[in-house]
A and B are shown apart, each in its own frame.
Chain A
Amino acid sequence: MGLKILTEHIDKPGIETFEVYRKHGGYTAVEKALKKMAPDEVVEEVKKSGVRGRGGAGFPMGMKWSFLAKPEGVPRYLVCNGDESEPGTFKDHFLMKTIPHLLIEGMIVSSYALGAHKSFIYVRGELMYVIRILEKAIAEAKAAGFLGKNILGTGYDLELVVQPGGGAYICGEETALLESLEGKRGNPRNKPPFPAVKGLYESPTVVNNVESIANTPWIVNNGGDAYAAIGIGRSTGTKLISASGNVKNPGVYEIVLGVPVEEFIYSDEYLGGIRDGHYLKAVVAGGSSVPILPAHLILKTANGENRLMSYESLSDGGFATGTMLGSGGFIVMDETVSVVRNTWNFSRFYHHESCGQCSPCREGTGWMEKVLERIVHGHGNERDIDLLVDVAKRIEGNTICPLGDAAAWPVGSAIRHFRDEFEWYVRHPEEATKKGAVYMPQNVLV
């Protein structure tokens, strides 16, 4: 088993309590940071670590922190993004419910580094039980003197607030999240200004994913250089992957970045391979938004190199033959899965979740869904396939927030790599819509 940064103590009974967490070295990072380090030193370590945002975009966390504006007399905020609603992604949920103190410790260290005195954890609204777990953990940490006024006698104050989300995927987009946190409708804002300059209540704000923040205690304890030594290239550290689909062992895995995709899918240490008697057909590697890849392209890049679980390797080949690590929602499909139906399903999601501000996304997501629905039910025609490509292209890049792109990519990539299957649906609708019908592209199964 590889090195574990986040999940090392996950199996310890009672790890969700302050006592057990503390016994396993918990909150030492708070002690170290607050007592021995200046806030800027913490920022420096995070920068050195090279850790990249785990929420999807993979933006270097230290760099984001150093962009935070610091005008005099204006509060700064840290907001943790725990909205996790991307289909196929369930790692933050897992982390928050099993080891809540890790996130809280990370929030304290990070807030200290950024000079925030009031920080928020915005948790997906459906996860009320997780919110209760977090609130209980916060109360414990407060009772132990790690939160509140004058933490550990260092003079640093921090209040931590858990906010139930607005019940929409779009509230995971950072500026929509801030609107929602302010008590408004969760519509993404136009950027610039970016949150680092004008975020929550018009004050400089950093928004980071749960997993990103959970990495900070380890970085403080062991140093940024030690973190940077883990992983491969600019993909440093470990990553939580939430694997689902037709594999033997679905679940949440912490992997060292750089593990070959083939090993991740087939080794017993991880997913254990495709369920018996079936073949790998396609993988959506980073949550529903990223391009889907057929088996041969997920295992090897177009140049024939082994594909690795890292930011760079997964995006090798651009969108023509690559994809993205995204949020780490790894969805595996065997030959019984219809890519066309699956694309329709994703489209339905984005249609449902578009906030409706910008016309390309509002109208385009609904359009794509309706066309796909027609195709799936045997009423498509050949022109529809090109129409879908064109509509997706006209949404992509032309919207306020990346949800428009996220809706366009799955459609564009599915047609790029599985066009023959779409054609099968429109040319042989009776056959394709039969219950249990499976399209067999002979050359791409592994």
Chain B
Amino acid sequence: MDAPQLIKVTIDGREVHVPPGTTILEAARQIGPEVAPPAMCYYKPLKGSGGKCRACLVKVTQGSEKDPRPMPKLVASCITGAQDGMVVENYTNPEVVNARNGVVEFLLINHPLDCPVCDQAGECHLQDFAYENGLATTRYEEERRTFDREDIGDKIQLHMNRCILCYRCVYTANQITDRRVHGVMYRGDHSEISTYIHQAIDNDFSGNVIDVCPVGALTDKTYRFKSRVWFSKPVDAHRDCDKCCGKVNLWYKGDEVIRVTARKNQWGEVEDFICNTCRFDKKQTADWVIEGPTKVSRASVISANKYGKNVIKKTGFGLEYAAHHYKPIDDTRPYDKNLKEIKQSEDYKALMEKNEAFFSKK
């Protein structure tokens, strides 16, 4: 059989050849993280995921070779199939940047911003997403919606305030555990992830909902407040398990295994789900065959112990950040509108110097 004809897609000016049926987002990932749209709900291993958070919106400026018309609206790249000759703008399109900025704002208005006490901080996709695509300020003055914390089973805690309703855990519960007791109740911003009538999840694979959660809404109770993520070091390890693949990351603090998680790829996706025995019960080094330190991207918080300036993609972020740190807030200042003008001002240059100093000090 012939290999399928590849199609050509151009994303932010860079070309890639992919098999037909590939989504724009997957094509962008093949080029690399510089052009890959952020994804807060799409999760490749979970069927049907994606399309909800709208973080991955992109502009299609040419539909295909055959039909070069642009698409009228921004499209969710995680669920939109690439066409031959398609031209996509991601970080290079101001409309996309603005819409994504909006998505960050929307996701944060009801978020408690309790990163200092959240176990997910440091490996939280919402933190990364907001840091890379958002503004340092909020325009939201209203009350945030709140929920009570809830234990689902003795090992997992649901912190609904932090949830961004990506539905990943719902798909996980649906697709890899056999008795589904986990879903979404109510509507709109009152929607709640819930186990049916507070029925505890007890299932050998239920712990995976923790790994797929992009934020700190589902956390591991056995790891609760044990450490900040960046003070622990991940190690690849495996064991013979009769239920799952047994391939995991052990998270060490000193000599102690404080947490066991499934291994994740570059995009934060679990490819082999693990069972609860491996996750919750095997916390001795002796339980495992150690393979070596996990490869962690240099830019990541875990490796650097902080967010570095190298992760900032958005122009103007530093300016706003510095402005809000060093100056009283002036609402009339047209940050977005006249960036060019501002950039030429003395004011800006002074700010940029301070900005530089701020980051190099850290």
Q: Which residues of A contact B (CB under 8 A)?
A: 168, 170, 185, 190, 351-360, 362-367, 370-371, 374, 383, 387, 394, 397-400
Contact = CB atoms under 8 A, between A and B. Distances in A.
A390 B102 CA distance: 9
Interface string B101-132: 01101110110000000000000000000000
Interface string B135-155: 000011011010000000000
Contact of A360 (B54, B98, B191): B54
Q: Is the interface of A mostly helix, strand, loop or mixed?
A: helix
Interface stretch (B1-9, B72-80, B300-308): B72-80
A366 B188 contact: yes
Contacts, number: 92
Contacts of B54: 358-360, 398-399
A367 B53 contact: no
A365 B110 CA distance: 12
Contact of A356 (B139, B143, B188): B188
A374 B98 CA distance: 26
Contact of A394 (B102, B107, B142, B191): B102
Contact of B74 (A190, A370, A371, A398): A398
B57 A365 contact: no
B188 A360 contact: no
A398 B187 contact: no
B52 interface: yes
Nearest to B50: A190
A363 B187 contact: no
A362 B139 contact: no
Contact of B165 (A190, A351, A357): A357
Nearest to A365: B188
Interface string B37-56: 00000000000001111110
Given A353-B188, A354-B189, A366-B189, A360 B145 contact: no
Contacts of A358: 51-54
Nearest to B140: A367
Nearest to A189: B51
Contacts of A383: 331
B196 to A, nearest CB: 13
Contacts of A367: 106, 109, 140, 142
Contacts of A352: 187-188
Q: Is the interface of B mostly helix, strand, loop or mixed?
A: loop
Given A356-B165, A357-B52, A358-B54, A370 B142 contact: yes
Contacts of B322: none
A187 to B, nearest CB: 8
Contact of B139 (A168, A355, A387, A400): A387
B189 A362 contact: yes
Contact of B188 (A362, A387, A397): A362
Nearest to B76: A190
A383 B184 CA distance: 35
B164 interface: yes
Contact of A398 (B57, B139, B167, B183): B57
Nearest to B332: A383
What's the interface size class on B, roughly? 35 or more
Contacts of B245: none
Given A356-B191, A360-B106, A363-B110, A400 B184 contact: no
B31 interface: no
A364 B98 CA distance: 15
A394 B110 contact: no
Given A359-B164, A398-B57, A366 B145 contact: yes
A363 B139 CA distance: 13
Contacts of A366: 110, 145, 188-189
A371 B109 CA distance: 13
Contact of A397 (B74, B103, B187, B190): B74
Interface in B227-246: none
A358 B74 CA distance: 14
B187 A356 contact: yes
Contacts of A168: 187
A399 B99 CA distance: 11
B191 A190 contact: no
Contacts of B140: 367
A363 B107 contact: yes
A-B residue pairs, 10 tightest by C-beta: A394-B102, A356-B191, A363-B106, A354-B188, A370-B142, A190-B51, A356-B188, A397-B73, A366-B189, A359-B106
A212 to B, nearest CB: 25
A408 to B, nearest CB: 12
Contacts of A399: 54
Contact of B99 (A351, A357, A398): A398
Nearest to B102: A394
A353 B186 CA distance: 10
A53 B274 CA distance: 50
A69 B190 CA distance: 38
Contacts of B187: 168, 170, 352-356
A400 B75 CA distance: 9
A185 B51 contact: no
A363 B183 contact: no
Contacts of A364: 106
A349 to B, nearest CB: 11
Nearest to A383: B331
A356 B160 CA distance: 14
5 contacts: A185-B184, A351-B188, A351-B189, A352-B187, A367-B106
Interface string B166-200: 01000000000000000110111111000000000
A185 B52 contact: no
Nearest to B189: A366
Contacts of B76: 190
B183 A185 contact: yes
Contacts of B110: 363, 366
